[in-house]
Structure 1
Amino acid sequence: MKQIKRVLLLAAGGLALGLAVLGIVLPILPTTPWVLVAAYCFAKAEPRWERRMLEHKTFGPLIIAWRDRQAIPMVGKIAALLMLTISSVIGWLRLEWHYAWIPTLVALIVGPWIWTRPSR
């Protein structure tokens, strides 16, 4: 049973890391949450992989800041809020009226939460 859990955590961590990499080039897909999920999965399944993520020059400080203080860097906050706003506007311009409110609702719920997280 432990082996199955480990394999599932490794698969989830790999998938999350893949989504994080996609998020680097796709503006609609967030990067940081997927990096945090990958680090969590790897911490539970393979500490060596977690250590590699913590030592990464870009992702390491983000993971450590989140674990220590649930902090989001100001540049990350601004980028996330900008993407939420753009998604809301695109939703109202491109979606059917009965779906257009969904991105706005997500932005109104997630945006303030992001903004209230401490910065570095």
Structure 2
Amino acid sequence: MTYDTVALCRSEPDAATMIGALVAVGSDLKMDTVDSAGLVQLFDPTDGRLLLTVETARLVQVPGEAERLLGVTLDDSFAGKVWWVESRAPDGDPQAAELTRNFTTALVSITGGLTWANR
């Protein structure tokens, strides 16, 4: 099981925005990508353990879908458009969970929007 967070962004998080949010949570962490799956992963530089996996931003095409899936309410400031960025941390690792929360918060502070977590 994983600890999951979702950033529901008002504006599209481009590559520079995503990198900015990742650097904001840990510039000393090792980063790698899984290009075929559209993933960015951060690892602890000392022991190499996986701390965070972030998926590519996706535009939610179906009106009301974010609300239906997550049980959140999107106000008019989203103008009917929301970008979904999902991230996850391995279960049972408090440092990884905090990093995931901090990434989602940093991303939403740049793009506007709101955050959701599975616990």
TM-score between both structures, scaled by the size of structure 2: 0.27
Considering fraction of residues, name the structure with more strand.
2
Higher Rg: 1
TM-score between both structures, scaled by the size of structure 1: 0.27
